[in-house]
Amino acid sequence: MDGSVLYLSMPSITSAITPTTDQALWILDIYGFVVSSLLIAFGNLGDRYGRLKFLLSGAVVFGLGSAGAAFAQSPEVLIACRALMGLGGATLLPSGLAIISSLFHNPRQRSQAIGIFAATFAAGFAAGPVIGGLLLSRFSWGSVFLINLPVVVLFLALAPVLLREVRTSNPGRVDALSVALSAVGILLAVYSVKTAAAEGFSLTQAAVGVVGLALLVWFARRQLGLEHPLLDLRLFRDRVFAVAILTGLLTLVAWAAAGYLSGIYLQSVLGYGVLAAALLALPGAAVLTIACIGASGVVDRVGKRAALIASHFFMGVGLLLLLLTTTEHGVAAFIASTVVAGVGYGLSFSVVADTAVAAVPAERAGSAASIAETSNELGNALGISLLGSLAALCFRLTGPDVAGTLDETLDTPGLSARIVAEAEDAFLTGLHVAIGAASLLCLALGVLALRWVPKEERGAEQEPETVAAAH
């Protein structure tokens, strides 16, 4: 909910606190960077010290960050508060999924529960902009962050009553060096990629990237020699698991980029208000929610392999429909795109999470869930930074050279109709290039999954469920 509100409120934020192009991207993606760098560490620490404790502490931190963001008066403060929200989110995501998996031991029930869990993301994506649009029509942009606070308060009141503490019975020693290597390595590597996309290559950027990659290689090699590794790399020997995690990454790359760019397109090019733009996204969000909930039934019918492959082609074809948008017409193409792609998003969200959790014993569910969530959060950050930067680059190369972004250009006083038209055309070019790249990535991964993931033996697949039900 919070992320989808932010996409639609960025034009208001840009006008109010005037962030630079780079700062605007940081406002959007710092949350994902912080979460992705800490998910592996926090997922394992939750397994060892108690997932409910991590959920409660994470909710408090997330709430404090939301309150700070609501009253931020500068881009720097808003970025810092979004980072604090990311710190809270890193504790919430893997522990929440792990607790859900511990409540349902039957594989079919667990798959259905995870589908419903994934559907709440779609529901939040749909409800957030509507609530945010109503708030923005009456209050300042900071109000969109205040919608998090009632949710946090309600969770803090009910979680200790409804949820039980879950931790690993034999957790082993926490390897502090692995925690540090994973967090710092991911952060430096992602920062380097983001900087290269936004500003181009430089000696400093390359050095940061090399250090980050070196730390991640050190981290990976260290895990192979630990009795209780922070990240069990043996999981990736399963091709379905490996493709599922890659799917989780790519799904959020496409979803984040499409959500961010189409939100600007609907408001700044077609002229819709925030609430109207949010309502236009409801059909796709409804399909996404239904696909999440129904994913377990689809897997039962066609198998996990076919569901994974289908998700890529639905996403790829759905994104291609956005190429039909123009500066004058595009609502029908936008709705069709979100509906078709929503089927793929829904299947991938549920299958990726269920695959990760089902691949490990219950006591390691938090660490497995953190792998799935890390791929999602990393994809979310990369989608905005890489594809968002690609769209921004196209705008700078083909636009009227008034400002670095469409919204900054349109906020410039005294523009002629010709300059406005040039700016809108340039933005649309950037949108088409970025979305076209996302679509090709989805279709390519679908072909890879078709060739790489082995066909399932349906009889063998049902056996674990029967055994679990008997117990």
pLDDT for res 218: 96
Please give the pLDDT value at position 471.
Answer: 36
What is the structure's pLDDT at 469? Answer: 38
Predicted local confidence at residue 468, as pLDDT: 38
Q: In percent, how much of the chain has pLDDT > 70?
A: 89
- Report for 92-106, 402-416, 438-452: range of highest mean pLDDT: 438-452
Cβ count near 470 (within 10 Å): 6
CA of residue 161 relative to chain centroid, distance:
29
Q: What is the pLDDT of residue 194?
A: 67
pLDDT digits (tens, 9 = 90+) for 356-393: 777 666 666 656 666 777 777 677 767 877 788 889 88
Q: How confident is the model at residue 42 (pLDDT cuts 50, 70, 90)?
A: confident
Burial bucket for residue 271 (CB in 10 Å: 0-12, 13-18, 19+): exposed
Q: Which residue has the higher pLDDT, 407 or 60?
A: 60
Alpha-helical runs (H) found in 50-139:
51-70, 75-103, 107-136
pLDDT score of 266 more than 90 = yes
How far apart CA 268 and CA 214 sit, in angstroms, is 42
CB 173 within 8 A of CB 201: no
User: Which residue would you say has higher pLDDT here, 426 or 465?
Assistant: 426
Asked if pLDDT for residue 458 goes beyond 70, the answer is: no
Stronger pLDDT, 354 or 59, i.e. the higher one: 59
Tell me how far apart the alpha carbons of residues 440 and 105 are, in angstroms, rounded to a whole number.
Answer: 38
pLDDT at 470: 35
pLDDT-based confidence at 100, cuts 50/70/90?
A: confident
* 464: confidence class by pLDDT, cuts 50, 70, 90: very low
Q: Do the Cβ atoms of 165 and 51 come closer than 8 Å?
A: yes
Q: Is 28 or 81 the better-scoring residue by pLDDT? A: 81
Structure tokens, 119 = 């559907």
CA-nearest of 18, 13, 5, 24 to 395 is 24
Model confidence at 172, pLDDT cuts 50, 70, 90, reads low
3-state secondary structure of 415: coil
More confident residue, 178 or 278: 178
Amino acid 96: pLDDT: 77
**Higher pLDDT pick, 126 / 151:** 151
Greatest mean pLDDT among 155-164, 215-224, 446-455 lies in 215-224
CA 394, CA 387: separation in Å to the nearest integer?
11
- State the DSSP string of 305-366: HHHHHHHHHHHHHHHHGGGG--SS--HHHHHHHHHHHHHHHHHHHHHHHHHHHHTS-GGGHH
Tell me the whole-structure pTM to 2 decimals: 0.75
Q: What is the mean pLDDT of the chain?
A: 83
pLDDT band at 200 (very low <50, low <70, confident <90, very high): low
**Residues 6 or more apart from 430 whose CB is under 8 A from it?**
261, 390, 391, 392, 393, 394, 395, 398
Quote the CA–CA distance of 191 and 196 in Å, as a whole number.
Answer: 9
Is pLDDT at 41 greater than 80 in this prediction?
no
pLDDT-derived band at 407 (thresholds 50, 70, 90) equals confident
Does 437 or 201 have the greater pLDDT score? 437
pLDDT tens sequence across 285-332: 889 889 988 988 898 899 888 898 999 999 999 999 999 999 999 999
Least confident residue range of 47-51, 107-111, 155-159: 47-51
Q: Domain extents for the chain?
A: 2-175+226-453, 176-225
Determine the average pLDDT of the residues in 116-127.
78
Record the tokens describing residue 93, joined without a space. Answer: 């995501």
Q: Are 369 and 97 in contact (CB under 8 A)?
A: yes
Q: Which helix (H) or strand (E) is 369 found in, with range?
A: helix 365-382
pLDDT of residue 168: 60
Which pLDDT score, from 0 to 100, does residue 463 have? 40
Please indicate whether residue 424 or residue 382 has the higher confidence score (pLDDT).
Answer: 424
CATH annotation of 2-175+226-453: 1.20.1250.20
The span from the CA of 96 to the CA of 52, in Å, is 8
User: What is the pLDDT, as a whole number, of residue 260?
Assistant: 85
pLDDT band at 269 (very low <50, low <70, confident <90, very high): very high
How many percent of the chain have pLDDT more than 90?
30
Would the pLDDT of 109 be above 50?
yes
75 confidence band (pLDDT: 50, 70, 90): very high
pLDDT at position 465? 40
pLDDT at 221: 92
